Amino acid sequence: MKPVPAAWLRRVLPLALVLAPATGRAQGGPPLVTDDPGTPGNRRWEINVAFTFERRGTARTFETPLVDANYGLGDRIQLKIEMPWIVRREDAGPRQDGAGNALFGVKWRFLDEATRGVAVAVYPQIEVNTSAYSARRGLAEKEPGLLLPLSLQKAVGPLSANVEIGHAFRRGQKPVWVYGLALGRELSEKLEVMAEIFGRASSRWTGIGSGWNLGLRWKLGKRCVLLASAGAGIAGSEGEPRASFQGYSALQLVF
């Protein structure tokens, strides 16, 4: 699959979202990479059971499944735990699979859009290795990681705009910037559409690796939502090919 040029993407995606008929606004978060300041609500669960796929160079990587559980502690705090099972195949090599790293996070939204004009949250997350077997085979990082992002959300006309930026740290490696911009809109009470550009870069903003996604959320019922997104790479990091395709599909259970 040939990646869509970034210049075309920047012009067409916002226009398509603006012209579509709508009744409300969408947010970031799954199925997008860019997160938002939203939380599930007090004593509410959001559990995403996902399947992901990425084609990068000669490697195909699957997360099957990726379990992402989130719990609301009050109206402003979200607790998170995420764990994948990773399968990787090379075009000319054997299949490898194993447990991925566990991710633990706490999101705190300290500003609300309704009262301050913009919603803002911090979302520190810690990644820890759960399998020496997976680390030895390159399926997961051996050293622990820390992500410190800041996310913002604001209504822009008929759209909802989300911006996320922060630093990612890993023992033995230089820190990198992470960033994302997502635009979303509700087409009906059951369907939301969204688009994003996201990536990572060195502390001097060199060696930028970035990609884009189109996504949707479709409410199948009161407690079940279908999540899906697909996209590709715009640029690859230094020494790493860009993703020729990336996909995400999940059922979100809300209770």
Q: In the prediction, which pLDDT does 203 show? A: 80
In CATH, the number for domain 6-254 is 2.40.160.40
State yes or no: pLDDT of 1 exceeds 80. no
What is the CA angle 11-239-123, rounded to 5?
60
Write down the domain spans for the chain: 6-254
Q: Which helix (H) or strand (E) holds 202?
A: strand 191-202
Give the pTM.
0.88
Q: In the prediction, which pLDDT does 20 show? A: 41
What is the percent of the chain where pLDDT is above 90?
79
How large is the average pLDDT for residues 211-219?
Answer: 97
How large is the average pLDDT for residues 134-155?
Answer: 96
For 84-103, what is each residue's pLDDT tens digit? 999 999 988 889 999 999 99
For 100-126, what is each residue's pLDDT tens digit? 999 999 999 999 999 999 999 999 999
Q: How high does pLDDT run on average in the chain?
A: 89
β-pairing, 145-156 vs 159-170, is antiparallel
For 26-45, what is each residue's pLDDT tens digit? 568 999 999 999 999 999 99
Distance CA 48, CA 214 (A): 18
